[in-house]
Structure 1
Amino acid sequence: MSAHPYSPAYAAGGFGFVSGALSVDESGTAVAGRMEALEAAVARLSERLGTVGMTLRDVIKTTYFVTDVTLRDEANSQYELLFDDPRPARSFVEVAALPYGATVEIEAIAHRRH
């Protein structure tokens, strides 16, 4: 039985649906620091995409959940580096708390480009 009752990523009809990837390290410990947390969440997102044979290049929509909406500027700078034009659509939402003490969670929808 897995640690969670859901799939980290699920592929169907050429799409990949990625469960929220938290700003934690490989052992599940929350990563401190603003950019470090964003980078950790992207690393976990990339790992999850990989489980369905996709990469960040396949992402068409993201939703960021953050415990501090002022992370938006750093996230915007990171987004410009991560994605080429046209960049994926994105929602950016502040929440009261995230699991494991994380400060960032990113979920994504990807589409296989043939």
Structure 2
Amino acid sequence: MSAATKVIVYNDEFPLKPHNSPAVKIGNLVYCSGQVGMGEIKAATRESLGNLKKVLELSGSSLEKVVKYNVFLKDMDEMLTMNEAFVAFLPDPKPARTCIQAGKLPGGPNASIEIECVAEL
């Protein structure tokens, strides 16, 4: 990483993992690693976005400054239900988003979603 890149370190609630940085700031952007949500899809979506909110705030950004989300679902049949929880977090204008079904998610069989994002500072 260049000297202009800054790793955002989690607090005790989000310990730093040896295989990735929780978020990286470069220029006027912050790139957040995926946050996994467990259990029922609506609650899991709120959990994942709530954790992203905390990471963004630690980096000096916010959900309102997200320009792109990538959503990975365990089951694409849950996309419409996930959207019901997801839209409650989104300001207008809505950011760009990609949503795909993933073969497996980190966190084991109870993981139903993982969301990552890119935001402005």
Distance in 1 between residues matched to 2:112 and 2:18, nearest whole Å: 20
The answer for the alignment partner of 1:5 in structure 2 is: 19
The answer to whether the aligner puts 1:109 opposite 2:118 as a matched pair is yes
After superposing on structure 2, the runs of 4+ consecutive aligned residues of structure 1 that deviate more than 3 Å are none
Q: Which has the higher contact order (CA 8 A, sep 6+)?
A: 1
| Alpha-carbon shift at residue 62 of structure 1 (Å) | 0.2
| Residue type at the aligned position of 1:70 | D
Identity %: 28
Distance 1:69 1:53, change over 3 A: same
Distance in 2 between residues matched to 1:16 and 1:56, nearest whole Å: 11
The answer for the alignment partner of 1:50 in structure 2 is: 57
Deviation larger for 70-79 or 43-52: 70-79
| Alpha-carbon shift at residue 51 of structure 1 (Å) | 2.3
TM-score using structure 2 length: 0.79
| Alpha-carbon shift at residue 7 of structure 1 (Å) | 1.1
| Residue from 71, 78, 82 that aligns with 1:75 | 82
| Residue from 83, 92, 106 that aligns with 1:85 | 92
Distance in 2 between residues matched to 1:20 and 1:37, nearest whole Å: 13
Distance in 2 between residues matched to 1:55 and 1:80, nearest whole Å: 15
Count of residue correspondences: 105
| Contact 1:58 1:111 (8 Å CA) reproduced | yes
| Residue from 48, 59, 62 that aligns with 2:66 | 59
| Alpha-carbon shift at residue 4 of structure 1 (Å) | 2.6
TM-score using structure 1 length: 0.83
CA RMSD of aligned residues (A): 1.6
| Alpha-carbon shift at residue 86 of structure 1 (Å) | 1.1
Distance 1:100 1:79, change over 3 A: closer
